Structure 1
Amino acid sequence: MNFTKTLFALALVATAPAAFAQSADLSVAGKLYPGTCSVDLGNAGVADFGDIRSNALNADQVTLLDPVTLPLTVACDGEVRFAFEGVDNASSSSTQSDRYGLGFTAADEKIGNANLFVADVTADGVPGYGTRSDDNGITWGDSNPGGNYSLAMHDLVGFAKDEAVGTGPAPIENLQGSLKVWAQIQPTDELTITEDVQINGSASLNIVYL
């Protein structure tokens, strides 16, 4: 979580005397969570596409690489309502605004982009039905058995234990599934590959408590 500190300048101005209230109301707000959760990705969270020969890439159109799948586990110390949020740490290198960047070539060219999918989910031993919010959890779409749920930036993705539920994610203690990474590389006509080019994408998978 990032905190931004804003400094306010206070100006003192001489004015005529005024009436002041003798009391002020205070509202106290907050939320108590039933537990906290930890998230774990297989292979230490590294989606490794291996060595890719440039002559195996398309010259005049993007090349879609075979997906890399990582096991995904969320363990909570009680039943907790939560959702996933994807954050692109390499957003300036993405070739599409709703996908995750893959870094730059030495010539400062964008290598491509990636889609992330949360897939094959079970929640406390039963199938997980994906539900999505595009307004930070205020409203949710009906849960559905799609199987692969795109983790688009600026959206929250959670899981219910029943189909066609519009009330958002269910309280879950243990979630099992996978994170699928689909990457595509820009046409080689647009890239300078005269030496090894390192794919260098970086994203964070956040747990958002609801």
Structure 2
Amino acid sequence: MKTPISLLSGALLLALSSSVFAASSVDLTVKGLITPSACTPSLPGDVDFGKIAAKDLNIDTPTALEHKTLPLSINCDAATLFAIQPIDNRAGSALSRFYFGLGMTNENQKLGLYLLGFTNPVAETPSTLLAMYNADGRWITLLPDEVMGPNDLVALGSRGDSGWAPHPIKDALVDVTLYTTINPAKDLTLTDEVAIDGSATFEVKYL
């Protein structure tokens, strides 16, 4: 017995329609955790390089400025798992997204850049400085001569059975050092005063 072509077409259309209906919705899961503990980061002030004469800048190569170090303190209501994420408020004014920018000149030229070093952690629990780069999910030890760029994470932690990981801290103190350079003078218009205008936010990320 032959199946009428109209019935066969109808059955095929019904099968295709069922597949479309089955794939036409998706669930959204919303997760999070409200923590009773809060942490407050603080710095003692700004980094000020004062006035720098244009004639003292290197013509063809970047000029490294004096290293500046500030103590960063983090105080929590109770022992808390957290990391610090530095965010560049002058994004786009550095040579690449891996550096913090120093703002733009009056002629819209990129003035320079800086990176951050973290050293000398002090906390109520013996701690090692840890870093996570590019949000790759892996914590590694942060050596004293290593630097970090925007959006990387730094935490205080220790080594356990599964490797290095942050541990809860109530109060911590860490030295933050700026490694700053001004771009070659040949690339800058310096006929008028130009402000060094770097800005970053240290944000507490609860883990």
What's the TM-score bracket when you normalise by the shorter of the two chains? 0.7 to 0.9
Deviation at 1:167, TM superposition (A): 4.3
Change (3 A) 1:82 1:193: same
Percentage of pairs with the same residue: 30
- How far apart, in 2, do the equivalents of 1:184 and 1:167 lie? 32
Match for residue 115 of structure 2?
115
- CA pair 201-108 structure 1, distance change in 2 beyond 3 A: same
Written as runs of structure 1 = structure 2, the 5 A alignment for 1:25-64 is 29-43=31-45, 46-64=46-64
CA drift of 1:139 comes to 2.5
Q: What amino acid maps onto 2:140 in structure 1?
A: D
How many residues were matched structurally? Answer: 183
TM-score by length of 1: 0.77
Please tell me whether the aligned partners of residues 131 and 168 of structure 1 are also in contact (alpha carbons under 8 angstroms): yes
CA contact (8 A) 2:132 2:140 kept: no
Task: Give the alignment's Cα RMSD to 1 decimal.
Answer: 2.7
Aligned match for 1:140, one of 133, 138, 141: 138
Give CA deviations for 1:112-164 in whole Å, capped at 9, x if unaligned. 111012221112263x312222364x7323335x2355332232111114599
Going from structure 1 to structure 2, the CA distance change for 1:107 and 1:71 (only over 3 Å counts) comes to same
How far apart, CA to CA, are the structure 2 residues paired with 1:78 and 1:56? Answer: 49
Compared with structure 1, are the counterparts of its residues 150 and 88 closer, same or farther at alpha carbon in structure 2 (3 Å cutoff)? same
Distance 1:164 1:55, change over 3 A: farther
- What CA distance in whole angstroms lies between the structure 1 residues aligned with 2:128 and 2:160? 6
| Residue 74 of structure 1, CA deviation | 0.5
Tell me which protein shows more helix as a share of its residues: 2
Deviation at 1:97, TM superposition (A): 2.2
Look up the match of 1:7: none
Q: Closer, same or farther in 2 for the Cα pair 1:92/1:142, shift >3 Å? A: closer
Contact 2:125 2:169 in 1 (8 A): no
Q: Give the alignment of 1:5-24 within 5 angstroms.
A: none
The Cα of 1:27 is off from its aligned counterpart by: 7.4
Find the counterpart in structure 1 of residue 14 from structure 2: none
CA drift of 1:40 comes to 0.6
Q: Which runs of 5+ in 1 are unaligned?
A: 1-24
TM-score where L is the length of structure 2: 0.78
Structure ID, larger Rg: 2
